[in-house]
Copies of this chain bind each other. A is one copy, B any other.
Amino acid sequence: MEAPYELIYYTGVPGRGEHIRLALEEAGVAYTDTASLPMSKCREVVTTYLTSRTEDEQGNPPYYAPPLFKHGHLIISQTSNILMYLGPKLGLAGSKEDDVYRVNALALTALDGLSTEVHDCHHPIAAELYYEEQKEESLRRSKEWMKTRLPKHLGFWEKVLERGGSKWLLGTEFTYADLVLFQCIDGVQFAFPKAMNQARESGKYNRVFQLWKDVKARPNVAAYLASERRQKYDWGIYRYYPENDVVPE
């Protein structure tokens, strides 16, 4: 019997675990997800993985933070790393020689620019402080991000799609990088609806917004998004603070 795919991540928000979920859902494979547990039980399980020694016998070093992914004896952390492990198994990492590295580069670039950078818009000073303790800096960062980074990122992804000459990032082949970009664009639209509406209406990034629509309409993705397994944005990476919902000046 093939070992099950096990996602270990906090419940309550899509978060970084969402990128793993979308790949598994698109591929239509079975997996377990600690996010289906009640909040307190979920936190207990995640904490056990982060602190326990029980799995070390298999040669897995400690992990800094979830998402974690367990497959048989292997337990690994880091979103892009888990996707790189799963990608070829799920048929979502291209088919040409070395495509895994092309796809991983695209995924890392999306995660850096449209996930980590966006998270830091509400936590520019310290992840350990509350948003309310860094509101002023957060507003300043959000304004700058909308002015310089958002157009830079959207422009980059538009260029990737234009050069690829097809609807997906790698060209004609759909890969998990498309799922990652979908989720990032989806999250940024939740956090910064005004700037993203303006970007959409500008017509400069039509390919990027079309990719978001096309991924959303894929049958397995659409079924997942309509299910109870898709959690709502709340306190995670993508947060909606009306005061930060600014448009580029």
Query: In this assembly, does A137 line the interface, its C-beta being within 8 Å of a C-beta of chain B?
Result: yes
Set of chain B residues within 8 Å of A163, measured between Cβ atoms:
53, 56, 61-62
**Are B164 and A141 touching (Cβ within 8 A)?**
no
Chain A count of residues within 8 A CB distance of the other chain: 51
**Are B124 and A137 touching (Cβ within 8 A)?**
yes
**Are B141 and A125 touching (Cβ within 8 A)?**
yes
User: Closest CB of chain B to A154's CB: distance in Å?
Assistant: 12
Which of A3-11, A36-44, A99-107, A185-193 contacts its partner? Answer: A99-107
- Measured CA separation A113–B78 after assembly (Å): 12
Set of chain B residues within 8 Å of A140, measured between Cβ atoms:
125, 137
Given A124-B137, A124-B141, A128-B144, A62 contacting B116 (CB threshold 8 A) = no
**Are A62 and B141 touching (Cβ within 8 A)?**
no
Set of chain B residues within 8 Å of A62, measured between Cβ atoms:
156, 159-160, 163
Which of A79-87, A210-218, A234-242 contacts its partner? Answer: A79-87
Residue of B nearest to A156 (CB): B64
This protein's copies in its complex: 2
Query: In this assembly, does A169 line the interface, its C-beta being within 8 Å of a C-beta of chain B?
Result: yes
Set of chain B residues within 8 Å of A59, measured between Cβ atoms:
96, 99, 102, 170-171
Set of chain B residues within 8 Å of A98, measured between Cβ atoms:
74, 76, 85
**Are B124 and A101 touching (Cβ within 8 A)?**
no
**Are B61 and A169 touching (Cβ within 8 A)?**
yes
Report A52-92 CB contacts with B as 1/0, cut-off 8 Å.
01001001111110000000001011101100110000000
Set of chain B residues within 8 Å of A96, measured between Cβ atoms:
59
- Measured CA separation A140–B138 after assembly (Å): 13
Query: In this assembly, does A129 line the interface, its C-beta being within 8 Å of a C-beta of chain B?
Result: yes
- Measured CA separation A61–B99 after assembly (Å): 10
**Are B56 and A80 touching (Cβ within 8 A)?**
no
Report A119-144 CB contacts with B as 1/0, cut-off 8 Å.
01000111111000000010011001
**Are A101 and B74 touching (Cβ within 8 A)?**
yes
Given contacts A78-B104, A128-B149, 9 further A-B contacts (CB under 8 A): A56-B163, A59-B99, A61-B169, A62-B160, A74-B101, A116-B116, A126-B145, A126-B148, A126-B149
Closest 10 CB pairs of A and B: A126-B144, A78-B108, A128-B148, A64-B109, A78-B105, A124-B124, A76-B101, A77-B105, A81-B104, A125-B141
